[in-house]
Structure 1
Amino acid sequence: MLEVNQNKFLLALAKAGMTTTDLEAKAKVGRTTISKVVNGNTKIRPALVGKLAKALNVDVEQIVDFK
């Protein structure tokens, strides 16, 4: 599991000019999943992080924290 940084994620979303609905469609993930990330339940599988980063057009490193 990777830990998504909520602030970095929201910043990437804003920079992309996308709504969470846009991201759901582009990343092909459900509303519940996006909601969990936006609301801080941020431990998610690497494949999902990859989908979100690709949809936001950012590198994975830009939305996760490494510990």
Structure 2
Amino acid sequence: MLKIDRKKLDLAMAKKCYNITDLVKKSSVCYSSIVKISNGNMSLTTRTLGKIAKALDVEPQDLIQE
């Protein structure tokens, strides 16, 4: 099961100067899903990981927990 690393996500968002609303707009992933994923309350699909990584201009592996 893929889990996003909250610290890595926050750093990638800071690099792009994005808040959650910006990430929602750029990734086309709904707000509630992003919040649940970032809090570890929802598993991450490869498709959603790809959308978030693309929106943040990072590699998908740069966002997941080791």
* TM-score bracket relative to the smaller structure: 0.7 to 0.9
Q: What residue identity is the alignment partner of 1:12?
A: A
Calculate the TM-score normalised by the size of structure 1: 0.86
Calculate the TM-score normalised by the size of structure 2: 0.87
Q: What residue identity is the alignment partner of 2:23?
A: L
Q: Using CA pairs under 8 Å that are at least 6 residues apart, name the structure with larger relative contact order, 1 or 2.
A: 1
Q: Which runs of 5+ in 1 are unaligned?
A: none
Aligned residues: 66
Which shifted more, 35-44 or 11-20?
A: 35-44
User: Which residue in the other structure is 1:10 paired with?
Assistant: 10
Deviation at 1:42, TM superposition (A): 5.3
Q: 1:10 to 1:30 in 2, by over 3 A?
A: same
User: Which residue in the other structure is 1:28 paired with?
Assistant: 28
Does 2:57 match 1:57?
Answer: yes
Runs of 4+ in 1 over 3 A off after TM superposition: none
CA RMSD of aligned residues (A): 1.4
